[in-house]
């Protein structure tokens, strides 16, 4: 029904020109605004919003993802399997972190309480990287350091997740 109404409106000769022009103008305006906003350089006097010091303390992390592995039945093929992990990390605010993680591939425990120790970067625009010696991840840090988003950038793996700072109560 809705499609039929839209088709009738577009077919009306008195509205076709003006409706198409309005839509094209809106699209062009949106594209110009998006391109010009993304192309704006940071002002020279802007203060830095993020750094490695933004991430400090303990963070919990839960991830669900998919990984491609060699098919055990046919080594010439790959299969995609689910992957899940949980971890507890401690970030030192100087570019290093450590922690422990559990990982499950396709329902089979892959690692339990596996120690992890690596480095991280955080840029002034709150983007950064996690890991330098193994799997690599891009991160987007919330400005106050309360959490950060993670996307995996390793061939054969697809996953995105979030790590959240653990608030320790004062007793």
**Distance between terminal CA atoms of the chain?**
63
Closest CA to 141 of 59, 35, 43: 59
pLDDT at res. 136: 86
143: CB partners within 8 A, 6+ apart: 49, 50, 54, 126
pLDDT at res. 10: 35
pLDDT at res. 8: 38
Low-confidence ranges of the chain (pLDDT < 50): 1-45, 171
pLDDT at res. 154: 87
Biggest CA pair distance of the chain: 74
Per-residue model confidence as pLDDT tens digits over 78-119: 999 999 999 999 999 999 999 999 999 999 999 999 999 999
The pTM (predicted TM-score) of the whole model is 0.68
């Amino acid at each position: 029904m809705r499609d039929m109404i839209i088709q009738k409106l577009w077919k009306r000769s008195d509205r076709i020109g003006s409706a198409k022009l309005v839509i094209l103008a809106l699209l062009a305006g949106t594209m110009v605004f998006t391109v010009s906003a993304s192309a704006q350089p940071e002002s020279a006097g802007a203060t830095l919003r993020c750094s490695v010091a933004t991430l400090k303390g303990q963070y919990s992390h839960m991830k669900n993802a998919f990984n491609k592995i060699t098919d055990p039945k046919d080594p010439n093929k790959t299969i995609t399997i689910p992957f899940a992990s949980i971890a507890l990390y401690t970030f030192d605010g100087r570019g290093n972190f450590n922690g422990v993680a559990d990982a499950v591939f396709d329902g089979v425990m892959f690692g339990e309480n596996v120690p992890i120790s690596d480095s991280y970067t955080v840029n002034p625009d709150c983007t950064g990287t996690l890991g330098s010696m193994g799997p690599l991840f891009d991160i987007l840090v919330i400005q106050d350091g309360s959490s950060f988003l993670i996307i995996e950038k390793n061939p054969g793996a697809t996953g995105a997740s979030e790590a959240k700072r653990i608030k320790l109560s004062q007793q």
